[in-house]
Amino acid sequence: MKNFSKILLIMFNLLFIYNAYSISDSTYVICVDINKNYRWLYENIYENKFYKVNGIVKKIALKNKYFYAFSPEGGDDIIQDLSKKCIKTFGRQYFIVQPANSDISNWSLFELNSGMYASGFISIMAYSNYGARTTFVHSFGIYNVILDTEKFSYITLDKITNRIHH
């Protein structure tokens, strides 16, 4: 019984550490056009300081495939503000905002509070037959073109799933 208590305590601590780490996730922001041209959004271009968003990285499973999404603190409001900043800074063609940590990051989406996703490009991964290893399947753009800066383009998980399977 004493060993069980120790194991339970260790598991609780690991869970707490994992959750604490997840809460502190952050990402940078890229502004993207429909041709996959992107530009980094700067908080202060003169200090070479990239715009940083805090939130949680999520792995979204779709049968034997998955993709990553970033759920930002501030949800829908922050994504809309970022999209407006991208349009104001780089022009209407850069209406897509996406999380990225480097120039070689896979494409991932911002997840919104409402359980929907901001439009963008997405990299689909698949579980391989070799255990925990994964393989890249493909990437594609999924977005609704809205060039009115007062509106924002959302996509659903169903729309993503349909695009993967067709």
pLDDT per 10-residue tile (average), the chain, 166 residues: 46 39 74 94 83 93 88 87 93 93 91 82 80 62 53 75 74
Predicted local distance difference test score (pLDDT) of residue 2: 56
* Cα angle: 146, vertex 59, 27; to 5 degrees: 65
Please report which residue ranges of 64-135 form alpha helices under DSSP H: 75-90
Nearest of 153, 158, 159 to residue 82 by alpha carbon: 153
Predicted local distance difference test score (pLDDT) of residue 31: 96
Nearest of 117, 113, 108, 114 to residue 67 by alpha carbon: 108
E-strand stretches of the chain: 25-32, 38-40, 42-44, 49-50, 52-62, 65-72, 96-100, 109-110, 117-118, 120-127, 134-142, 154-155
d(CA 138, CA 122): 8
Predicted local distance difference test score (pLDDT) of residue 51: 93
* pTM, two decimal places: 0.74
Predicted local distance difference test score (pLDDT) of residue 161: 83
